[in-house]
Amino acid sequence: MLYLLQHYWWLLVSLLGSLLVFLMFVQGGQSLLFGIVKSKEEKTLLINALGHKWELTFTTLVTFGGSIFASFPLYYSTSFGGAYWLWMSILFLFVVQAVSFEYRGKAGNVLGSKTYEIFLLINGFFGSLLLGVAVGTFFTGGSFVMNKMNITDPLQPVISYWTNGWHGLDAIANPFNLLMGIVVYLAARTLGLLYVIKQIDLDSLVAKAKVQIKVTGVAFILGFVGLLIALFTMTGHSVSPENGVISAVKYKYFFNMVELIWPAIMLICGILMVLYGIGSSLFSKGKFSFFITGGGVVLSVWSILICAAFNNTAFFVSTVNLQQSLTLYNSSSSLFTLKVMAYASLFIPFVMGYVIFVWRSLSKTKISNSDLDRPDAHKY
């Protein structure tokens, strides 16, 4: 039972992670500020189109962290507690985003609208980049040591701690993590452009977005191919189910895809959806390109995150002491906790149904200047 629940909760956690990457289209849209977006009219329309959705990204990030805390607390305390400069940087960028959306359009704000627009631009680029770097650590690990017996020490009950002073910022220097961050940024920017095409009723902005998608979309596809090559050729770490010994295995993540099969099918379907979604935006009206491409991103990221921990794989490797690396078996909550949360997770479909209902209600028609000029309109 414990084995099944550990894998069940990793499925849910990795699904939340993939949904978060999809919802980063808000950050991708923000990265268009001071780029293809030039006039005040275009900026106002873009920010208000994104403003209806930014809370979903922030809420999903918090839910992602909360679900990891509840299901895999040792990973939460090790990564969020040890690599806190990386996670605090991400959190700070999201707080800046929230403040910018709320105060940019307020009359008499001290900093001025342009300052908040710059904050949104910074969040759009660095927020998605650093989040991708953090996701990359599922495969590259971190500089930590762990001793569960420390919990009995009343003076310093710290199970794990970082062994260098960078506390997570060193992850940015890892080439694989950085590549992951760039690909997440390109995915967010591509989805942001597709969202502009779908949701904004302004011909000049939509025309520029369709031109830009030819560059960003192709760059995203090439970057993702490069990421898959790097992932499938890197050395992963396998944990023995008999004695828990962790050992290095070359091409581990490729073997996970091949041996499990169903994540590979998910990945192939995701890639085909991304190619079709971007292609339909280039060669036709692409009415559903945003959702098709977004669905492809969710499937692709979900399959990759599944392979980070399934098939007896260490998903957070200690670069200091390999045998102290984290796995599904040594980092999860108790059977009782996982079982109780499994019952609570049965309400997830209802929550998702509500989110879909709200999304459709807010996005039934394209946003235009006339919508913002209404007396009862809320402007960001």
Other Cβ atoms less than 10 A from the Cβ of 199: the count is 21
Which amino acid makes up residue 205? L
Rounded to the nearest 10 degrees, the angle between the axes of helix 289-309 and helix 175-199 is 160
- 295 in any annotated domain: yes
Which structural domain range is residue 80 located in?
2-373
- 350 in any annotated domain: yes
**How many structural domains are present in the chain?**
1
Q: For each of the chain's 380 residues, which pLDDT tens digit applies?
A: 888 889 899 999 999 999 999 999 999 989 888 878 877 788 888 888 888 788 888 888 888 888 888 889 888 888 887 788 988 999 899 888 888 888 877 776 777 778 888 888 999 899 999 999 999 999 998 888 877 666 666 666 667 778 887 888 888 999 999 999 999 999 999 999 999 888 888 888 888 888 899 999 999 999 999 999 999 999 989 998 878 889 999 999 999 999 999 999 999 999 999 999 998 888 887 778 899 999 999 999 999 999 999 999 999 898 888 888 888 988 888 888 888 888 888 877 887 787 788 777 777 777 776 666 666 566 66
- 378 in any annotated domain: no
- 198 in any annotated domain: yes
- 181 in any annotated domain: yes
Cα dihedral 194, 196, 200, 204, rounded to 10, equals -110
Q: Is the dihedral of CA 253, 258, 263, 265 positive or negative?
A: positive
Check if the beta carbon of residue 19 is closer than 8 Å to that of residue 342: no
- 380 in any annotated domain: no
Residue 356 token pair: 């879909």
**b/e for 28-53, b at 16 or more Cβ within 10 A?**
bbbbbbeebbeeeebbbbbbbbbbbb
- 366 in any annotated domain: yes
